[in-house]
């Protein structure tokens, strides 16, 4: 069981609440709209973006074809520099591995930088159950943690919170009023977190990529928090999704050119760090222990399916920002970790389709996601494949399957087809009044059907 779990069928209900709240609508529309524009501005400055995407797709798929070999090279390299690699099959195993490392270090305070893999395995609760204090140091994640919620966007976790709401959350920590001025909020966060960086016993980071040939972890941030966690605490644990391996530095360079551009519209983020092991000889900071916890959690299984291209995802969030369904429904409707088109595919694949039968339908299949994906994952096609699986695995309701069976029966027979078109005008007037027809027509304008059928005109 992972913390990807969500009440099945909850999408519609949560999205409805979201649609009714104008402030939240404005927040999601504003943030995704700005990210979309930033991406476009730098993307257009690229000389040959298409060729870069093709190359990235090729690199990702070739690596996934040969993941076992790359993982063993990576492991050898990390171990040769005094690090440890823990390969974990399930979310529970990964949680236990990190807890064991922290316990052995006698940790009381664990500081974290943003990691979707950590959200995926539900790490914070496991560490807290051991009596450890866990603090998120990415500003967005810190806000989400104080609010007691879940990240709603993989790049902008606190997409929902406005500056005055953040001020209220910081006030609870400060014990005195905090101004909602943006720069002041930055200063308050800096002060509150500086102590955490200084005193943390263990630093937990994610890993945007891992390079096999050099045994390095690549971390990308704008705030610099991940870098501080690879420098100050005596123990560094990096959580690595199994599929994020890259064979060589040269290939990492290609992916780095795409990641920040697609995520925030920057050529590179402020800080791109390559960590290769513990503190070197004579160095005055850097950890004594370096652990990489590699998380499989269903990824190996995916390699054998027709959804394997989803493993190419580099978690940039570009598909989320352009998705008309996400922009209106918000992130919570998809569940606590991954959202938007990538989430609508990944969550059913990692947790089982029967636990997220509504997510493949959280798309208009417009294909905007596929158009912006920097590694060319055919996202909307994968969503369509998942819908097919819903029917074939009989997860779709009996009523819906019956309706489509009858429709297909009728329209494959000329006499019944003619009969149906004769009754179409009456049917169109009745449909908005009954059952599924009412729901379907509620948000649509139905074009009137012609008085005389085309076939009757001579």
Selected range binding another protein among 85-93, 94-102, 239-247, 256-264, rule: CB under 8 A: 256-264
Name residues contacting another protein, limited to 278-317 (CB under 8 A).
Answer: 278-286
x-or-dash pattern for another protein, window 400-439, by CB under 8 A?
Answer: ----------------------------------------
x-or-dash pattern for another protein, window 29-68, by CB under 8 A?
Answer: -xx--xx---------------------------------
E strand or H helix that includes residue 271: strand 271-275
Spatial distance between the Cα atoms of 403 and 96, rounded to a whole number of angstroms? 47
Selected range binding another protein among 184-192, 334-342, 390-398, 402-410, rule: CB under 8 A: 184-192
CA-to-CA separations, 166 to 115, 151, 159, 209, in angstroms, rounded:
21, 14, 11, 31
Selected range binding another protein among 187-195, 297-305, 404-412, 428-436, rule: CB under 8 A: 187-195
Burial degree of 387 (CB within 10 A; 0-12, 13-18, 19+): middle
Spatial distance between the Cα atoms of 160 and 218, rounded to a whole number of angstroms? 29
Rounded to the nearest whole angstrom, what is the least distance from the CB of residue 318 to another protein in the complex? 15
The DSSP result for 340-365, as a single string, is HHHHHHHHHHHH-GGG-TTGGGS---
Cβ pair 76, 281 in contact under 8 A: no
Counting contacts by CB under 8 A, is residue 273 touching another protein? yes
90, 147, 271, 367: residue in contact with another protein (rule CB under 8 A): 271
Rounded to the nearest whole angstrom, what is the least distance from the CB of residue 290 to another protein in the complex? 9
Selected range binding another protein among 86-94, 153-161, 332-340, 373-381, rule: CB under 8 A: 153-161
Q: What φ, ψ does residue 5 adopt, rounded to 5°?
A: -60, 145
Cβ pair 138, 154 in contact under 8 A: no
Cβ pair 103, 130 in contact under 8 A: yes
* Closest of 274, 144, 143 to residue 208, by C-alpha: 274
Give the largest CA-CA distance in the chain.
Answer: 93
Counting contacts by CB under 8 A, is residue 216 touching another protein? yes
Counting contacts by CB under 8 A, is residue 277 touching another protein? yes
Counting contacts by CB under 8 A, is residue 444 touching another protein? no
Counting contacts by CB under 8 A, is residue 163 touching another protein? yes
Selected range binding another protein among 17-25, 229-237, 372-380, 409-417, rule: CB under 8 A: 229-237
75, 230, 339, 363: residue in contact with another protein (rule CB under 8 A): 230
Counting contacts by CB under 8 A, is residue 190 touching another protein? yes
Rank residues 268 and 384 by Cβ distance to another protein and give the closer one.
268
Rounded to the nearest whole angstrom, what is the least distance from the CB of residue 276 to another protein in the complex? 5
Burial degree of 430 (CB within 10 A; 0-12, 13-18, 19+): exposed
Spatial distance between the Cα atoms of 375 and 124, rounded to a whole number of angstroms? 31
Question: Which residues lie below 8 Å from residue 208, measured CB to CB, with a gap of 6+?
Answer: 218, 219, 220, 244, 259, 314, 315
* Closest of 125, 241, 142 to residue 197, by C-alpha: 142
15, 88, 117, 193: residue in contact with another protein (rule CB under 8 A): 193
Rank residues 288 and 393 by Cβ distance to another protein and give the closer one.
288
Number of residues that bind another protein (CB under 8 A): 66
Cβ pair 121, 2 in contact under 8 A: yes
Selected range binding another protein among 101-109, 269-277, 298-306, 332-340, rule: CB under 8 A: 269-277
x-or-dash pattern for another protein, window 69-88, by CB under 8 A?
Answer: ------------x-------
Counting contacts by CB under 8 A, is residue 235 touching another protein? no
Selected range binding another protein among 126-134, 214-222, 369-377, 426-434, rule: CB under 8 A: 214-222
Counting contacts by CB under 8 A, is residue 253 touching another protein? yes
270, 364, 397, 405: residue in contact with another protein (rule CB under 8 A): 270
How many Cβ atoms sit within 10 Å of the Cβ of residue 213? 16
Cβ pair 166, 156 in contact under 8 A: no
* Closest of 122, 131, 134, 64 to residue 93, by C-alpha: 122
The residues that touch another protein, with contacts defined as CB under 8 A, are 27, 30-31, 34-35, 81, 137-140, 143, 156-158, 161-163, 166, 182-183, 185-186, 189-190, 193-194, 197, 214, 216, 222-225, 227-228, 230-232, 249-250, 252-253, 256-257, 264, 266-286
């Amino acid at each position: 069981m992972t913390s990807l779990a969500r009440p099945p069928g909850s999408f519609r209900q949560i999205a409805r609440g979201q649609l009714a709240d104008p402030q939240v609508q404005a927040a999601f529309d504003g943030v995704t709209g700005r990210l979309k524009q930033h991406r476009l501005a730098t993307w257009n400055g690229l000389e040959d973006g298409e060729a870069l995407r093709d190359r990235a797709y090729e690199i990702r798929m070739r690596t996934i074809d040969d993941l076992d070999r790359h993982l063993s090279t990576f492991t050898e390299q990390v171990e040769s520099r005094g690090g440890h690699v823990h390969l974990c099959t399930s979310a529970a195993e990964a949680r236990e591995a990190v807890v064991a490392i922290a316990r052995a270090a006698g940790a009381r305070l664990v500081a974290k930088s943003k990691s979707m893999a950590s959200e995926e395995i539900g790490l914070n609760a496991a560490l807290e159950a051991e009596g450890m204090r866990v603090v998120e140091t990415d500003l967005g994640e810190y806000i989400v943690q104080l609010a007691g919620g879940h990240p709603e966007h993989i790049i902008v976790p606190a997409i929902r919170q406005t500056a005055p709401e953040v001020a209220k959350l910081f006030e609870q920590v400060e014990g005195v009023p905090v101004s909602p001025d943006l720069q002041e909020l930055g200063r308050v966060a800096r002060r509150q977190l500086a102590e955490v960086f200084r005193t943390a016993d263990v630093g937990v980071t994610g890993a945007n990529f891992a390079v096999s040939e050099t045994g390095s972890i690549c971390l990308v941030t704008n705030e610099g928090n991940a870098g501080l966690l690879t420098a100050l605490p005596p123990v560094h644990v990096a959580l690595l999704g199994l599929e994020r391996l890259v064979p060589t530095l040269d290939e990492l360079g290609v992916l780095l050119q795409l990641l920040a551009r697609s995520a925030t519209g920057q050529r590179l983020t402020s800080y791109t760090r390559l960590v290769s092991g513990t503190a070197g000889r004579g160095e005055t900071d850097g950890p004594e222990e370096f652990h990489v916890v590699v998380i499989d959690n269903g990824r190996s299984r995916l390699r054998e399916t027709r959804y394997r291209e989803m493993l190419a995802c580099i978690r940039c969030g570009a598909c989320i920002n352009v998705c008309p369904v996400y922009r209106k429904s918000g992130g919570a409707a998809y569940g606590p970790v991954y959202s938007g088109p990538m989430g609508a595919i990944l969550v059913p694949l990692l947790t089982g389709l029967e636990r997220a039968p509504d997510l493949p339908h959280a798309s208009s299949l417009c294909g905007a996601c596929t158009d912006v994906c920097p590694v060319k994952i055919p996202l909307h096609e994968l969503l369509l494949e998942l819908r097919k699986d819903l029917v074939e695995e009989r997860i779709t309701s009996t009523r819906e399957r019956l309706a489509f069976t009858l429709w297909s029966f009728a329209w494959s027979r000329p006499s019944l087809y003619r009969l149906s078109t004769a009754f179409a005008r009456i049917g169109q007037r009745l449909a908005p009044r009954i059952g599924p027809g009412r729901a379907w027509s509620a948000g649509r304008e139905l074009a009137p059907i012609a008085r005389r059928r085309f076939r009757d005109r001579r």
